[in-house]
Structure 1
Amino acid sequence: MTANGSTTGTQRRPVSKADKRAAAKAAKAAAAQAAARKRLLRTVAVAAAALAVAGVLAWAISGWSGDAVSPPAAAASVTPAASIAAKPVFPPLPEGADPALGKKPAAAAVTGALAKLAVKTLIQGKGPAAKAGTTITVNYVGVHYQTGKEFDASWTRLQPFEFTLGAGNVIAGWDQGLAGVKVGSRVQLDIPAALAYGDKPTGGQPAGPLRFIVDVLSAR
């Protein structure tokens, strides 16, 4: 505008009804396009989530059914079997042995005196008979004859005991009582003090008569 009140340059044209209708129509179209984009994005997100869930379910089901399907990337890695040390089997039962040899036996107390060695077969094995000079492997439980209190057991150490029969490496009651016992057998040895550690042993050995339950696992 000049000093005398006249207007210079381009004058602003009044907005007509047609212009208003066109602007409203354009705004409505833009809003519709924005809503359509939101719906599309929501659909894509839902589909992606559904695919992810389906992948996890497929992996889980394949694990139950045994199918060889790789787990999703987010699943925890599995330690290779080769890196896991194999645990030794205890006790190492001979082939065809009675499964009862896999359970630790219970040895009860006995009343009365024990005059001589007594051998009782609890389970009869089918393997070769142990004899003097053979190396035999056994599991055993040892208790005091008159109280039944356990003083030693290979089961506690989870390791069988190996020795040469008849070589004097064990008490006389073992050398005598296990001779002729077949592999796979479980025998009860009631051993008088004279064939065990005596009535007053030294070195912390059990005194008096003893009862052993012995499983013969091998003889070679």
Structure 2
Amino acid sequence: MSERTQQTGPDQSPATKSGRRLAAQLAAKKAADRKRKRNAVISGLAAVAVAGVLIGVFVTIGGGGDDKPKNQADATPSATVPAPDEPAAPPAPQLPADADPALKTKPTVKPGTGELKKLAVTPLIKGTGPAVKKGQNITTNYVGVFFKDGKEFDSSWKGGQPVTFPIGVGQVIPGWDQGLVGVTVGSRVQLDIPGELGYGNDPAAAGGRPTGPLRFVVDVIAAQ
């Protein structure tokens, strides 16, 4: 056996060395693949965790908003707070302390019967206050209907506020001037007024106001 053959031996052959290098390369490649997969899994878990935190934050913020008004206008009833530059309306005169409770409710007014030729004043509720005098300012609630069919054409109840005006001095129709002087405060009276003491009988001359015989039910709340 030669000296070269003795030095090389079966474990030092070129084929054996190449196999070892190839095995080492494969092992390194597998280790690198495992490392990449492990890093990818870790990154995925981290992304899921971050997304969960963000979703939790959004849910918390959104859920908290449901318990609060969307804006200040929703929190403050506009009906109870007047505008800063809008003066408060003066309080309406109150009913006399001993007034009939029926004066708090709008009356039902029915049509009249027959032909109305003169003013008729019919007490419906007798008030206990002082009698209305000519020239005083009186405060009233009223309902006006056509005498013949009872169709309503005007009412202070629609606006929710009584009406104040001077009486007996030509500021209202003659049927009111004549029919309400002498009525006691706290009374409810029915006024049946012929056309000539109201707005006349000619629609062309009335300017859109109700003509012909009229019926009013008037509550006298105050007189000053």
TM-score by length of 1: 0.63
- Structure 2 gap ranges (5+): 1-20
Partner residue of 2:63? 54
- Structure 1 gap ranges (5+): 1-12, 60-70
Per the alignment, in what secondary structure is the counterpart of residue 216 of structure 2?
strand
* Among candidates 40, 47, 72, match of residue 38 of structure 1: 47
The farther-off stretch of 162-171 and 152-161 is 152-161
Per the alignment, in what secondary structure is the counterpart of residue 112 of structure 1?
coil
What is the CA-CA distance between 1:209 and the residue it aligns to? 4.0
CA contact (8 A) 2:82 2:88 kept: no
| CA distance in structure 2 between the aligned counterparts of 1:145 and 1:115, rounded to whole angstroms | 12
Partner residue of 1:190? 192
| CA distance in structure 2 between the aligned counterparts of 1:206 and 1:42, rounded to whole angstroms | 75
| CA distance in structure 2 between the aligned counterparts of 1:182 and 1:41, rounded to whole angstroms | 83
TM-score by length of 2: 0.62
The farther-off stretch of 16-25 and 145-154 is 145-154
| CA distance in structure 1 between the aligned counterparts of 2:122 and 2:67, rounded to whole angstroms | 59
| CA distance in structure 2 between the aligned counterparts of 1:207 and 1:57, rounded to whole angstroms | 58
1:29 aligns with 2:38: yes
Instruction: Give the alignment of 1:97-136 within 5 angstroms.
Output: 101=103, 104-114=106-116, 116-125=118-127, 128-136=130-138
Rate the CA distance shift 1:52–1:22 in 2: closer, same or farther, 3 A: same
What letter is aligned with 2:222? S
| CA distance in structure 1 between the aligned counterparts of 2:203 and 2:64, rounded to whole angstroms | 71
* Among candidates 215, 218, 223, match of residue 214 of structure 1: 218
Per the alignment, in what secondary structure is the counterpart of residue 66 of structure 2?
helix
| CA distance in structure 2 between the aligned counterparts of 1:15 and 1:182, rounded to whole angstroms | 123
More helix by share: 2
What is the CA-CA distance between 1:134 and the residue it aligns to? 1.0
Rate the CA distance shift 1:82–1:93 in 2: closer, same or farther, 3 A: closer
Per the alignment, in what secondary structure is the counterpart of residue 205 of structure 2?
coil
CA contact (8 A) 2:203 2:210 kept: yes
Q: Percent identity?
A: 45
| CA distance in structure 1 between the aligned counterparts of 2:29 and 2:54, rounded to whole angstroms | 38
Deviations 1:77-134 (A, max 9, x none): 5388554858969x94624666755655443222224465432333455655422221
Per the alignment, in what secondary structure is the counterpart of residue 58 of structure 1?
coil
CA contact (8 A) 2:92 2:161 kept: no
What is the CA-CA distance between 1:26 and the residue it aligns to? 1.4
- The structure with the larger Rg is 2
Partner residue of 2:28? 19
What is the CA-CA distance between 1:150 and the residue it aligns to? 4.3
